[in-house]
Amino acid sequence: MSLDRERVLEILERFGNLKVLVVGDVILDRYVFGKVERISPEAPVPVVEVQKEEFRLGGAGNVANNLANLGLKTSLLGVVGQDYGRHIVRGLLKEAGIEDLTVEDPKRPTTEKMRVVALSQQLLRIDSESKKAVEGKVLEELLQRLEMDVDGIIVSDYAKGVVCRELMDRIRERKLFFSVDPRPENRNLYVGADLMTPNEKEARGMLQEENLKNLGWRLKRELSLSTLVITLGQKGMALFDSEFRVFPARARQVYDVSGAGDTVVAVLTACALSGVDWDTACELANLCAGVVVGKLGTAVAKPEEILQSLEEGCRV
């Protein structure tokens, strides 16, 4: 591995000079933590005694949070409802130092995923959302707010209706570096991306191809992508740029994989905008993802955690 402490510190210092806009589906992640000591007499389900609740930025919000924690100047553009959830989202953005460019849509709720957790196990997830495509004044406002001065754009698509043809056309018109964390059903919207980062399941949902190497090259060619990285879970990630390479995963303990893809697209984009070569970028992204999957729920990799993980890996 070519990464060492000095190299990581140098890269993190470069990040501080960048300004990135994250565009996509903002999700409010709500965690209800409790304990289970009995089964309900009303139905064969556990009774959860609530001990605490936490709210975290999810979806495009988690991508932005990852960037902000890496020291980048970060803005978030997406849609929230005219409900209490929007106040929580905006409070979390302010706390994280992320510029809030969210647009209110009176016709939809703030997308929320509520997870009930007991003994570190997720018992239930409840989603409140609308997947209808944005339109009218809300779409106009989104397109207007795209025009800000930034070094690059990350499109975080969770298929909740924000990422649409009009939005992607306007992003391409700006001729800035843009990366995409995709959803298979919207594959044709991503043509011309500088970077796309599907996981293996998403990549296979876009094309019928058994061989991973062939799958990657076909996706890259058919969508005219400059660079493609397919994340492979515990096997690491596969890079398709001028050639094909696989980078082993760096996680020492996998606790929860939710949000790891957000971390990967954030780190790879920051590296690309900083002029870091793709091999080093993939090594750093693997290192950061390894930090994140060791935590419960939506999470970020902080610089001190990245350095600690690097040092622990070097001692193995």
The residues annotated as belonging to the active site are 262
**Max CA pair span of the chain:** 61
Phi and psi, residue 147, nearest 5°: -80, 5
Structure tokens at 23: 């565009």
Q: Mapping DSSP to helix (H, G, I), strand (E, B) and coil, where does residue 136 land? A: helix
Q: Contact, 34 vs 49, CB < 8 A?
A: yes
268: amino acid identity, one letter: L
Q: Mapping DSSP to helix (H, G, I), strand (E, B) and coil, where does residue 225 land? A: coil
Give the C-alpha distances (Å, rounded to integers) separating 288 from 67, 213, 227, 312: 12, 24, 20, 13
Give the C-alpha distances (Å, rounded to integers) separating 196 from 55, 90, 144, 180, 210: 28, 28, 24, 5, 20
Which residues, listed in sequence order, are joined to residue 127 by a DSSP beta bridge?
113
Q: Which residues does 10 contact at the CB level (< 8 Å), separation at least 6?
A: none
C-alpha 149/C-alpha 151 separation (Å) is 7
Which residues, listed in sequence order, are joined to residue 39 by a DSSP beta bridge?
46
C-alpha 219/C-alpha 93 separation (Å) is 34
C-alpha 184/C-alpha 246 separation (Å) is 22
Q: Mapping DSSP to helix (H, G, I), strand (E, B) and coil, where does residue 30 land? A: strand
Which residues, listed in sequence order, are joined to residue 156 by a DSSP beta bridge?
24, 181
